[in-house]
Amino acid sequence: MLDKSYYEKVDEIIAGYGTESRFLIPVIQDVQSEYRYLPPELLKYIAGKLHITEAKAYSVATFYENFSFDQKGKYVIKVCDGTACHVRRGTDVLNKLREVLGLKPGQSTTEDMLFTLETVSCLGACGLAPVLTVNDNVHPSMTPDKVVELINEIKQQEVQA
C-alpha cells in the first residue's frame, strides 16, 4: 500500500483536469512526471476516478512505451538508437554505458536507484549523432570515452550533494 500522499497527489492532478475518461493520458503523464514512474498501485484508483476499468487503463498505459510501472533511477539516460545514431556507432555508446553502470541483461535501473538506461527510436537530433539525453539534457556526439566521463561527473556531483 502506498502512502496516503500519493493518492492525494492523484486527487490534486485529477482536480486540474476533470473526471472524464478522456483525461486518462494527461493524468497518468502528470503522475509519471511527479514520481518518474507510474506506481501500479495508483492505476486502479485513477481508473475508478475516471469511470473506466483498471484493465482499460492498463491497456492504455502499456500501449505507450513512455509509461513505466517500474521505478526509475534519479538520472534517466535515453540513448538514441535511430538510424543516424545507429550507423554512427550508437550501439558502442550503449554497450559502454551498460558496462560502466554494471547492468545485467534485462536490468535497466542500477541497484542504487541512481541511473536508468533506456533506448529510444529517435530523438530527432540526427545532426548530433550519436546522441543521448540525461533527464532531458542533450549530450551530442557521444563516444564510449565521453560516456565514462559523463557518468563519473554525475556520480561526483552526487557525492558532493
Partner 1 sequence: MDYITIDGRCVPIEGEKNILMLIRKAGIDLPTFCYHSELSVYGACRMCMVEDEKGRLMASCSEQPRPGMVIRTNTKKLRKYRKLIVELLLASHCRDCTVCTRNGNCELQSIAFKVGIHDVRFKNTKELEPIDLSSPSIVRDPNKCILCGDCVRTCSEIQAVGAIDFANRGAKAKVCPAFDKPLGETDCVGCGQCRVVCPTGALSVNTNVTDVWDAIADPDVRVVAQIAPAVRIAVGDKFGMPKGTNVMGKLVSALRMMGFDKVYDTNFGADLTVMEESKELAERLEKGENLPLFTSCCPGWVKFCETKYPEFAGNISTCRSPQGMFSAVVKEYYKEQDVADGMKTYVVSIMPCTAKKAEILRPDNFTDGRQDTDRVLTTIEIIRMIRQAGIKFDELKSEAPDMPFGMASGAASIFGVTGGVSEAVLRHLAADKGYIAFEQIKYSGIRGTDGIKEATFDLNGREVKLAVVHGLANAGKVLEGIKSGELSYDFVEVMACRNGCIAGGGQPLPIGPRTKAGRMEGIYQVDRDSQIRVTDDNPIIAQTYREVIAGNEHKLLHRTGI
- For residue 33, the minimal CB distance to partner 1 (Å) is 22
Choice between 54 and 92, CB closer to partner 1? 54
Asked if residues 136 and 125 have their Cβ atoms less than 8 Å apart, the reply is: no
- For residue 69, the minimal CB distance to partner 1 (Å) is 8
Choice between 58 and 84, CB closer to partner 1? 58
Give first-to-last CA distance, the chain, whole Å.
31
Compute the distance between CA of residue 51 and CA of residue 47 in angstroms, rounded to an integer: 6
- SS3 category, 47: helix
Choice between 57 and 147, CB closer to partner 1? 57
- For residue 67, the minimal CB distance to partner 1 (Å) is 11
- For residue 44, the minimal CB distance to partner 1 (Å) is 7
Contacts to partner 1 by CB under 8 A? 40, 43-44, 52-59, 62-63, 69
What are the C-alpha distances in Å from 22 to residues 43, 57, 62?
15, 11, 16
Choice between 6 and 143, CB closer to partner 1? 6
- SS3 category, 155: helix
